[in-house]
């Protein structure tokens, strides 16, 4: 599995970190150039690649944890822990939303992916410049995917889900075939 993951994620090496955020408890990081895509008739600027993570993870700098996956489920500073109306999935309500803003402000066009490493069970380390490290602790079968805008002229997205080495290779081959078909249209 290590080889399969690295073969997909090595394409991030040398790319800039552009953005980070969440959709519910799915954490995403954007890499590469900023591009314009049209979705549902609306044009927006997005990163060339996005890594979607839905398992345990953390971002560290030096010996400090900047932000981690469990921060989704804790109230932000100033919101009472005992508040019976705490809605963790509302943007700005949880502890994740504060430090990720600091992280985003700290990254700039000079923050790049220096290298990627993985383990045999799908864990992942992304070493960034400026001393940042993204660690992913895969504990289930389906936990991560890398999303690419693919062939920008077709305005389609493709997802390579990291389930197993065999599944990754089958998915990659299918996406390559679909992209070639779309390019010949």
Rounded to an integer, the average pLDDT of 40-67 is: 89
Q: Which range among 15-24, 28-37, 69-78, 171-180 shows the weakest confidence by mean pLDDT? A: 171-180
**Strand duo 42-53 + 26-39: pairing:** antiparallel
Distances (CA, A) of 98 to 29, 41, 69, 70: 16, 31, 13, 13
Residue 175's pLDDT is: 46
Provide the mean pLDDT of the chain. Answer: 75
- Looking at per-residue pLDDT, the higher value among 181 and 154 belongs to 181
Cα 50–Cα 54–Cα 57 angle in degrees, nearest 5: 90
* Integer Cα distance of 15 and 181 in angstroms: 27
Q: What is the pLDDT of residues 129-168, one digit of tens each?
A: 999 999 998 766 555 555 655 433 333 333 333 333 334 3
Instruction: Report which listed range, 40-49, 58-67, 106-115, is most confident.
Output: 58-67
């Amino acid at each position: 599995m290590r080889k399969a993951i690295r073969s997909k994620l090595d394409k991030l090496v040398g790319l800039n970190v552009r953005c980070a955020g969440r959709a519910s408890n799915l954490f995403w990081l954007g890499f590469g150039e900023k591009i314009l895509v049209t979705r549902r008739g609306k044009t927006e600027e997005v990163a060339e690649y996005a890594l979607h993570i839905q398992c345990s993870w953390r971002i560290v700098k030096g010996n400090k944890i900047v932000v981690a996956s469990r921060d989704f489920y804790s109230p932000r500073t100033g919101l009472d822990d005992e508040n019976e109306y705490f809605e963790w999935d509302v943007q700005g309500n949880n502890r994740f939303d504060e430090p990720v803003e600091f992280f985003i402000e700290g990254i700039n066009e000079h923050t790049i992916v220096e290298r990627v490493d993985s383990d045999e069970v799908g864990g992942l380390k992304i070493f960034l410049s400026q001393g940042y490290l993204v660690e992913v602790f895969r504990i289930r079968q389906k936990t991560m995917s890398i999303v690419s805008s693919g062939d920008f002229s077709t305005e389609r997205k493709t997802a390579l889900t990291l389930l197993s080495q065999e599944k990754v290779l089958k998915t990659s081959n299918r996406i390559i075939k679909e992209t070639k078909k779309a390019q010949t249209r």
